[in-house]
Structure 1
Amino acid sequence: MTPFADDEISTWIPKTAFPVHADASNFASGVTKEQAYEQVLLQAEGLFNLSNVASLLWHAYHSLPSPSSSVNWSGFYVLDPKSTPAKPSLILGPFQGKVACQTIPFGRGVCGAAASTRETQLVPDVDAFPGHIACDGDSRSEIVVPIVSGGKLVAIIDVDCAEVNGFDDVDRVWLEKLAVLLAEGCDW
């Protein structure tokens, strides 16, 4: 089930045009950010695989104009099953971009803040974020969205941009919808 009503889905492209194979990461030029996110959610619903969703996000951002096309990392960190409730941490999951930090404790950096608060962190300038962990020195802004399943944080969506103010409320709304979809559709 999609996390948005059928009347919210644009009619710019029929649902049957969303194959779940290599063409899934082809995004038409000239679409709006909202239309690109709609395609990501529709494709993700058929995939339910974090690796493929990381790829979909990467290709969606790179099909859009700046600042979205300046996304330099998109992916997931998942709850480390070896961490303890007293010291929970995230481990690197599927992603697109440069090599990244392997482990992030709850409460550290933007990802750790989202994990510990279970609230989306939309950071327009990472240099102004206290305790920012610079896994990629080119990152200038970041958005991190928690994925909660069964009342428990299971993962986070992390997207970095090489431009300041790379993300806005449109990104927040659609990534939160994606988080709900993944929370309900993946086997955590």
Structure 2
Amino acid sequence: MRNKICLNPENYRELTGEFDEGDFFEIFWGRMNIIIDDKDFFGEDSIIQEFKEEPINNDIHGLTLPMFPFIYNLFVNYKKIGVRDLILQEGPMGEGLVIKTNGDNIILAIEVYNGESGETKWYDGEKLISMNDLSKNDINSMPTSVFKQGLIEGMNNFFVNFFNHYPELRDNELINRYYNNFTKLKG
């Protein structure tokens, strides 16, 4: 089984003037996408936009989130993946990554919130369901070790691309703390 987790910034903003760490971490948004055996987990995610009553854009797939807070959340919870169920949420989007433990495997879902109706559903890679109905399907389950390896590779690619675009931030203390936490995680 192959798994690829992509952490892609929506765009790289040009840094002008003094670098403001607080603002940067709030505005640096992107998308996480998950590819399992060449199948796009978010291939049917237009139903998420329909549920949230948003305009449908079939060209954009993935979970929209603030990149650095989400990566920090992955650091903090990495050892818990496969040990207990997790919902990793970041930002005001009302969406989160659900990682449910199922023996030596995990089952993925996206928690989706409709701000208009106040209703919450889970997207399982195929359809919207209630959180009590999450079960394994062809696109949402994999061995925990495969998922964790995909996370490590995805974060590594993120940092390589980030530092390629912002070489001047290699010496930034806060970003280096993030990167050093990542290097400890990957071993």
TM-score normalized with structure 2 length: 0.30
Larger strand percent: 2
